[in-house]
A = this chain, B = another copy of it.
Amino acid sequence: MKKQKKDIIILGAGNVAHALGKELNAKGYLIRGVYSRTTKSARALAKYFSCDVYADPSLIPADANYYLISVTDEALPEVASRMPLTDGTVMHTAGSVPLDVLARFKRYGVLYPLQTLSKNKETDFSIMPLCIEASDKTTLKEIKKIALEMSETVVEVTTQQRKVLHVAAVFACNFSNYMYIAAHDILKQAGMDFKILLPLIIETVEKLMLMEPRQAQTGPAIRGDKSIMQEHIHLLKEMPHYQKIYKSLSSAIAEILAPKKD
């Protein structure tokens, strides 16, 4: 007799809900239904799984095996408080929300993907670190099993460690991507194509495989090349928000890194 699929209800319909839902579905879990406060997003995701849509957390059935909450950190406490009590395992996927936001449930935990997920790009889950935490050893084991089906890198972390990972990830991913936006805008204003920077961006990352980022730092600020920094600041006069960032980051680089010459 074929083993019955474990079922999952997804709360949230953003990037993380999309990516995790699709991956869990691919790994043989049944996505039973989707809730999102944005009904349109919920419908779009539910359509992919041909599953139910719930208009409110209180309308979600209580008898699913798993509940995966991927809403904004701000919405998480309310969504968790308005869900039905259940014997299933309730997980959230947030980087910085304490485990005990789910303390009213019997079995609960965290499944935090340390990754940047966008709806319009498939992601390789197998190399993605999944950080887990749970209410008790049995639940931890259960969440670990699910995580290991998706990724080779499953890490048990405390709420505090997860928060630190999250803030580090904001710098390493969100802020570095903002630097790409700035570069894109600066080139676009001069009629040039961002793609010319791709080899440089790739090399910047490849260096990290060989050395610590501090050793990899190059450019005018670390060299203490003041005349060129003045020139760049002048060049950015039409883009004052980027000019301001240029100044403050150049100072920051000069401050915390020992200046080298030549």
Q: Which residues of A contact B (CB under 8 A)?
A: 12-15, 36-38, 41, 71-75, 94-97, 114-118, 120-121, 123-124, 127-129, 153, 155, 160-161, 163-184, 186-187, 190, 192, 194, 196-223, 225-228, 231-232, 235-236, 241-242, 244-246, 248-249, 252-253, 255-257, 261-262
Contact = CB atoms under 8 A, between A and B. Distances in A.
A262 B36 contact: yes
A203 B113 CA distance: 13
A118 B214 CA distance: 12
- A interface SS class: helix
A261 B205 CA distance: 30
Contacts of A123: 203
Closest 5 CB pairs of A and B: A174-B219, A180-B213, A176-B176, A172-B183, A168-B183
Contacts of A221: 170, 174
A129 B184 contact: no
A116 B200 contact: yes
B253 A174 contact: yes
Interface centre among A97, A175, A190, A204 (most CB of B within 10 A): A175
Contacts of A211: 118, 120-121
A116 to B, nearest CB: 5
A217 B181 contact: yes
Contacts of A262: 12-14, 36-38, 41, 71-72, 75
A126 to B, nearest CB: 10
A258 B146 CA distance: 35
Given A172-B201, A175-B182, 12 more contacts: A74-B226, A116-B203, A121-B206, A163-B231, A169-B200, A171-B180, A172-B179, A180-B208, A181-B256, A181-B257, A194-B208, A245-B248
